[in-house]
Amino acid sequence: MSYTVDIKKEISFIRSTKSEMIAELSGFIRNNGTVEDNVLSLTTENTFTIERLKRFFHDLYEVDLSVESKDNLNFSKRNLYLLKLTTKTDTILKDIGYYDNNNEYLESPPTYIVGANEEIRSYLRGVFLCTGSINDPKTSRYHMELLVSKPGESVFVQKLLNIFDLNAKILNRDKGYMIYIKEAEKISDYIRILGASQAVMYFEDAKIYREKKNQTNRLNNCEQANMDKVVATAASQLEEISIIEESGNLDLLDDKTMEAVMYRKKYPESSLKELSAIISVETGKKITKSGLNHRFRKIKELSEKLKKI
C-alpha cells in the first residue's frame, strides 16, 4: 500500500460534525463529481472512501449511493468504483455548494461551507481524498500535489492551503491544474492539517533519517576531499624533491629543509599536520605545521628554479 493510500485510509476514519461532513463532501464532489440527467457520479479506487461517502450521504440526507466496479483507465492495478446518487440530487448539490439556486455551477463554494478552520480542513480533506498524492519521503523527493480540472477551483484550493502558510503553488497542466507543495516542513504541516497523525510521524521519521544520511554523506565527501588534497600535496612535494635530487642539488638546502625532505620521503601519505607532529616527537624539536610548510615552500621555489634552468 502506498504512502498516499495510507494517508487517505487514516483520514477516512476521522469522525466529523455535520458542518465538517458538508465541507468534506463539497471538496470531494466539486473535484470529482459529474452530473448528468440529475444523476451525480463519483469515482474512487478506495473501499474505505466509499464507506465514508456512503455514511456521510446517509447521515446527512438519508440517501444511499449505488456502487459498481468499472474499468480503470489509469493503468492502475487497483479497482475503480463508480458511485451514483439518483435521489435528492439538486438539493444536495445546492447544500454542499456545487450549484446555486438556479442549478448553475458555482466557481467557488459559498463562504459558509468553509467558515471555520475545521471546515477548511474538512474541505481540503475531501479534495485530497479524490485527487491528492504525496511522495513517500523515504524513497523520493518531497512532493505533494492536487490535480484540479477547473481554474476557479484551483485558485480557491490554493487560497485555502495558504491560509495555513503552506506556500502552495499552481502549475497549468494539459488536463487541468496542479497545486503543489515541495518544502518538507510545509508538507508535514499539510498532512497534520488533514488530520493524519500517524502519517505525520512516519513523514517526520523519514525526514530525520534522510537529513542524517545526507549529513553523513556530506561529511564523508568532505573527508574524502581532504584526503585527496593531502595525497595531492604530498605527491607534489615528492615530485619537487625528486627534481632537486635528480639535478644533484640537494646540498643547496639547509639542514632544517633537508630534514623535511627526509621525513616527507619516509612518510609519503602524511598530512602536514601529521608530519609536523611526527618530526616533533622523533627529533625532540617542536615544529609547527606552519613552520614545516615554510620549509616545503623553499623546496618548491628551488625545484621551480631548476626546472627553468
Cβ atoms of 155 and 57 within 8 Å: the answer is no
For residues 137 and 235, state if they share a domain: no
For residues 66 and 158, state if they share a domain: yes
Torsion angle of C-alpha atoms 263, 268, 271, 276, degrees rounded to 10: -10
Which residue matches cell numbers 616545503? Answer: 296
Start-to-end CA distance of the chain, whole Å, equals 74
260 lies in a domain? yes
Q: Which pLDDT tens digits describe the chain residue by residue (309 residues)?
A: 699 999 999 999 999 999 999 999 999 999 999 999 999 999 999 999 999 999 999 999 999 999 998 776 665 567 899 999 999 999 999 999 999 999 899 999 999 999 999 999 999 999 999 999 999 998 878 999 999 999 999 999 999 999 999 999 999 988 899 999 999 999 999 999 999 999 999 999 888 888 777 777 787 788 788 787 878 887 888 888 888 888 888 788 888 888 888 888 888 888 888 888 888 888 888 889 888 888 888 888 888 888 877
List phi, psi (to 5°) of 219.
-65, -40
For residues 180 and 246, state if they share a domain: no
- Say how far apart CA 177 and CA 67 lie, in whole Å: 28
For residues 177 and 77, state if they share a domain: yes
Which grid coordinates belong to 31? 473535484
144 lies in a domain? yes
Which residue matches cell numbers 471538496? Answer: 27
Cβ atoms of 67 and 82 within 8 Å: the answer is yes
For residues 34 and 130, state if they share a domain: yes
211 lies in a domain? no
- Say how far apart CA 208 and CA 196 lie, in whole Å: 18
For residues 34 and 136, state if they share a domain: yes
User: Whole-model pTM above 0.85?
Assistant: no
Domain count, the chain: 2
- Our CA angle for 145, 190, 79, nearest 5°, is 50
Residue-number span of the structural domain to which 270 is assigned: 230-308
